[in-house]
Amino acid sequence: MSKNRTNRVIMHVDMDAFYASIEQRDNPDYRGKPVVVGGGGPRAVVAAASYESRKFGVRSAMPGREALRRCPDAIFVKPRLDYYRLVSKDIFAIFKELTPVYEGLSLDEAFLDFSEEPGIHDIIEQRARLIKDRIHEQTQLTASVGVGPNKLVAKIASDLLKPDGLCMLFGDTISQTLDPMPASTIPGIGRKTVKRLRSIRVSTIKDLRTAPDAALSAVFGRYAMRIKQRAAGIDDREVVPSRGDKSISAENTFAENLTSAREMEQELILLADRTAERARKKNLLGSVVMIKVRMPDFTTLTRQMQLQPASNSSDAIGGRAREMLRDWRADYPDAAVRLLGVGIAGLQEERQMGLFDSPEDNQGVDQVLDSIREKFGSDVVKRGNRIR
C-alpha cells in the first residue's frame, strides 16, 4: 500500500462511561451519583462505572462485590444491553456520515480514518469537534476523541483528557507525551510483563523505547521490535472498515481456559471451518474476517481484517483468523483465553466460480467435506490442520 504511513489522520472516539452515562441521562435521580451498571452480587461483574463511582476506585470488569466494598453508596443498575445497542447505532450512523473508513471496537468505541480526505490536515481539530458535537446533539452524551497518525497514538490520546476530552498528538508531541507514561500504557503489557520489565530497569515508555534490543528480546522474544516501535509511537495497523451489519460467526466458550498458542490456533481453525461451512450453505462470501477473544477477566476484544477477494473457503478464513490471533498474542503474550469466535462480515452473494478461479483456496476439498458432513454429521470429518 502506497499510503504515507506517518501522514495518516486517525481518530479514536470513545464514549465516556457509556452505559452509566445513558442511565444517568435517562434517570435524573442518578445524576451526580455513583452509578454502577452491573449487579452488586458475588457473581456480578461491573459493566460500567460512572465517574462519581470511579473516584472510589470502582472500575469496569471488577467483581460487583468489590465495587460495593469500595463504594457502599453506589447505585447498582441492571444493564439494558438492547437499549445501549440502539444508542450505539445512532452514534455509528454519525461516524458513517463523516467517513467510510471506521472500525467499531465495541458499542461505544471506534477508530475513524480521515487520511484520504483532501485538506484534512488543516481541519483536524474542527473535524474532531464536529464529531463530539454531533454525538452530543444526537444523544446528549459526551465522547472523548484522541487524534494521531495511527491507532496506538489515537487510542492513548482519547484517554488523556477524559471525560469530554479532545487530544491531538502528532510529531514531537507524541514522544513528549508518551515517554513519561508507564510502560503498561502500551497494550499488551500486563502485570506479569511489568514485573519482568522492572528487572531490566524499564518502567516508563521512554525506558522501553531506549532499552537495549537484547534486554527487550529476553522479555518479548520475537515481538521485541514491535514493542519497541509501539513505545516510539509507531503503529502500522490499518483501520479496517466493517461493511454491512450482517455476519456469520461461530464461537466457543471453553470449560478450561486455553493457555497455549497451539490450542488456541486449533480451536480457531475449527471455528473458522464452521463459519465457512455456514457461509457455503447460504452461498455467501465474506469480505471481512473477524475474531473475538475473551480473556478470563471477561475483557473481550474483536479484531477484523479485510479478505480480498471475498471468500467462504475454510483455509482463507482460517488463515486470516490465525494471523489476527498471532497479532493479538503479540500484544497479549501472557493472556489465557476463555472464549474464541470467528466470523465473517461484508457478505455478498456467491457467483458461480470458475474451476480455476481460486486454486489455492481448496474449494474442492471444502465441497467434499461439506457433502460428507451433510450425510454423516459434522463431527465425522475434521480438517487435517486441526490436528497438526
Using the contact rule CB under 5 A, the part of the chain among 11-19, 26-34, 81-89, 280-288 near Mg ion is 11-19
CB of 138 to Mg ion, least distance (A): 16
**Which residue pairs from 310-313 have beta carbons closer than 8 angstroms and sit at least 24 positions apart in sequence?**
310/285, 310/286, 310/346, 310/348, 311/285, 311/286, 311/358, 311/361, 312/276, 312/279, 312/280, 312/284, 312/285, 312/286, 312/344, 312/350, 313/276, 313/358, 313/361, 313/362, 313/363, 313/366
Find out whether 244 and 346 touch, Cβ atoms under 8 Å: yes
238 binds Mg ion (CB under 5 A): no
The residue within the footprint of Mg ion, chosen from 108, 235, 238, 331 (CB under 5 A), is: 108
Going through the chain in order, the beta strands assigned E by DSSP cover 10-15, 35-37, 48-49, 75-77, 102-106, 109-113, 143-148, 166-168, 247-258, 284-294, 300-311, 337-345, 348-349
Taking CB under 5 A as the binding criterion, the range among 52-60, 84-92, 100-108, 279-287 that sits at the site for Mg ion is 100-108
Least Å distance, CB 107 to Mg ion, is 9
Site size with Mg ion, rule: CB under 5 A: 4
Q: Which of 11, 12, 14, 332 binds Mg ion (CB under 5 A)?
A: 14
Q: Which is nearer to Mg ion, 145 or 240 (CB)?
A: 145
Q: Which CB atom, from 105 or from 295, has the smaller least distance to Mg ion?
A: 105
Which residues participate in catalysis according to the annotation? 109
User: Would you give the binding string for Mg ion spanning residues 16-45, x where CB under 5 A is met?
Assistant: --x---------------------------
- Supply the minimum distance, in Å, between the C-beta of residue 48 and Mg ion: 8
Q: Which stretch binds Mg ion (CB under 5 A): 1-9, 102-110, 185-193, 301-309?
A: 102-110
Does the footprint of Mg ion cover residue 15 (CB under 5 A)? yes
> Does 154 help bind Mg ion (rule: CB under 5 A)?
no
Nearer to Mg ion, 13 or 272 (CB): 13
Residue 91 binds to Mg ion (criterion: CB under 5 A): no
What pairs with residue 76 in β-bridges?
36
54 binds Mg ion (CB under 5 A): no
Q: Which stretch binds Mg ion (CB under 5 A): 14-22, 49-57, 332-340, 355-363?
A: 14-22
The reply on whether position 47 binds Mg ion by CB under 5 A is: no
113 binds Mg ion (CB under 5 A): no
- Report d(CA 36, CA 53) in Å as an integer: 7
Three-state secondary structure call for residue 311? strand
* Piece of the chain touching Mg ion by CB under 5 A; list 12-20, 65-73, 227-235, 308-316: 12-20
Length of the chain: 388
Shortest Cβ 145–Mg ion spacing (Å)? 12
Strands 143-148 and 166-168: parallel
DSSP alpha helix (H) spans, 247-342: 261-281, 314-331
In angstroms, rounded to a whole number, what is the distance separating the alpha carbons of residues 110 and 102? 7
Whole-angstrom distance, CA of residue 88 vs CA of residue 29 = 23
How many CA atoms lie less than 13 Å away from 92 in the CB half-sphere? 21
In angstroms, rounded to a whole number, what is the distance separating the alpha carbons of residues 135 and 108? 11
Taking the least distance from each CB to Mg ion, the nearer of 17 and 74 is 17
Least distance to Mg ion, CB of residue 91, Å: 11
Distance of closest approach, residue 53 Cβ to Mg ion, in angstroms: 15
> What is the binding site for Mg ion (CB under 5 A)?
14-15, 18, 108
